Structure 1
Amino acid sequence: MDRREIAALLAYIGRLDPRSIRTDEGEARDQLAQWHELLGDVPMATSHGWDARVAARQHYRTSPYQIQPADVVRPWESYRRNRLALHWDPTPSADPDDQAAWTAELVGTRRAVAAGTAQPAYAPAITSSQEELNPRLQARLNEIGSCIPPAARAALAPFRPARAAREAAVAQGLPDALSVRCEWCLAPVGEPCRRRRIGPNDRVRTITPRTDPHPGRLDLAAAKQAQRTEKAQQPALA
């Protein structure tokens, strides 16, 4: 708040509590300087729920004592903490290789949320999955074609052979074996099939992931893919 806003706030407080009114010019000037020093970084009001006059009115509704600058600062700090607690940092639209621009955009967004000039960005998992991406991010994703660039995907292929085999099969139009549960090794959906090594006492010694899925899992995935295709080709019922 600037000095004019501080003066307006003190005038409003004077209407609520005449005890806070300073009739002497020197005392009024000192009071204005004190409040401006302590509330200079607190806004008078924001478009997202903060108003210093509401904080002053709430003080007099719950306390018989004269208001002090701290009685306005405390609600403001609580307001900032609550907004930052609700905020989920969205992915900046800046180039991630430009660390300075990336950090500046992230910090700027947090400061805007804390200052009450922007609404907190909620996590997509607790809002809607239909929320549109930032236009710049969407354009970059369309250009690359994937969240992982092709060069990085090729470099990672030797270290995750099961994922590479799955992506190659899907690219060729083959059924995705990992989309169903394996009835042979009981591998859940999304995880590769497993190879069990049995010890002399017929107990499982180790379990290692397989690069290629079991044939039965492939057959089950192909059957489910055929069912989905047949269902999609059926005419829609009126």
Structure 2
Amino acid sequence: MEPREIAAALAYIGRLDPRTIRTDPSEARDQIAQWHELLSCVPFATAHGWDVREAIRAHVLASPYPILPVDVARTWRAHRRDRLDRHTDPTPAADPDDVTIWRAELLGARQAVAVGAAAPSTHRQITGGPHPDVEARLRAIGSCIPPAVRAELARYRPARAAREAAVAAGQPDALSVACPWCHAREGEPCRSRRLGLDGHARGNAPRVTPHPSRVDLAAAGLARPTAA
């Protein structure tokens, strides 16, 4: 901030907190010089999210102590650090073989974000769905996992493989309902519950096949819409 901007900031502080007002001209000059020494690298306002008046107002609302220039400087550093943390360094348009120009463009983009002249460049989200080639491939194989890979994974996922085999054979998907016997939730495999002498469950190992009562419940749910 320039001295005139420092004076404007101090006038705003005095309006919110009269304790900071300096009525003596020499004291006011010394105060401006002190603040300018510590805040010369802090902008008054930027086009992207920083305004020193907002930082001053937030301090006055949160703290009973008069604001100091270091409070403003620390708030600016935190704001600057947050912007750089959200910046993802887009690839420069310069020729990557020209290291000097490529690096200068990269550092220039970072500096623009740091001083608030440009907005952080965040990761672009996928919003348009899969690529047409990927979508066509998914329609062809019916799944994002190819059949050969699914067959190889079956031995590591026995419960999932049994569920897929049952659905492929036209049988009800037992895992689509909660199990009334072991109380496994929807989508979770059944658990082997052994009862001890005290009547409490002993053991909680997952089962490859669901409990018969769960299969019957899923079959009843599958048949209900047909009967209607």
TM-score range (shorter-chain normalised) is 0.5 to 0.7
> Which residue identity does 1:83 align to in structure 2?
R
Report percent identity of matched pairs.
57
Distance 1:4 1:24 in 2: 18
Gap runs ≥5 in structure 2: 130-143, 154-228
Distance 1:95 1:5 in 2: 40
Contact kept in structure 2, 1:44 and 1:51, CA below 8 Å: yes
- 2:206 alignment counterpart: none
Please give the residue correspondences for 1:75-224 in structure 2 after superposition, counting only pairs within 5 Å: 75-124=75-124, 126=125, 128=127, 181=146, 183=148
Gap runs ≥5 in structure 1: 131-178, 189-238
- In the TM superposition, what whole-angstrom CA distance separates every residue of 1:86-143 from its partner, at most 9, and x where no partner exists? 111100001111100000000000011111110111112x35569xxxxxxxxxxxxx
Distance 2:88 2:37 in 1: 32
Q: 1:98 to 1:37 in 2, by over 3 A?
A: same
Q: 1:183 to 1:60 in 2, by over 3 A?
A: closer
Distance 1:12 1:26 in 2: 19
- 1:24 alignment counterpart: 24
Contact kept in structure 2, 1:3 and 1:32, CA below 8 Å: yes
> Which residue identity does 1:108 align to in structure 2?
G
TM-score normalized with structure 1 length = 0.54
Q: 1:34 to 1:183 in 2, by over 3 A?
A: same
- In the TM superposition, what whole-angstrom CA distance separates every residue of 1:16-37 from its partner, at most 9, and x where no partner exists? 1111111111111110000001
Contact kept in structure 2, 1:7 and 1:32, CA below 8 Å: yes
Distance 1:46 1:82 in 2: 15
TM-score normalized with structure 2 length = 0.56
Contact kept in structure 2, 1:48 and 1:119, CA below 8 Å: yes
- 1:48 alignment counterpart: 48
Which protein has the larger Cα radius of gyration, Structure 1 or Structure 2? 2
Q: 1:181 to 1:33 in 2, by over 3 A?
A: same
Q: 1:77 to 1:127 in 2, by over 3 A?
A: farther
Q: 1:127 to 1:105 in 2, by over 3 A?
A: farther
> Which residue identity does 1:20 align to in structure 2?
T
How much does 1:183 deviate? Answer: 3.5
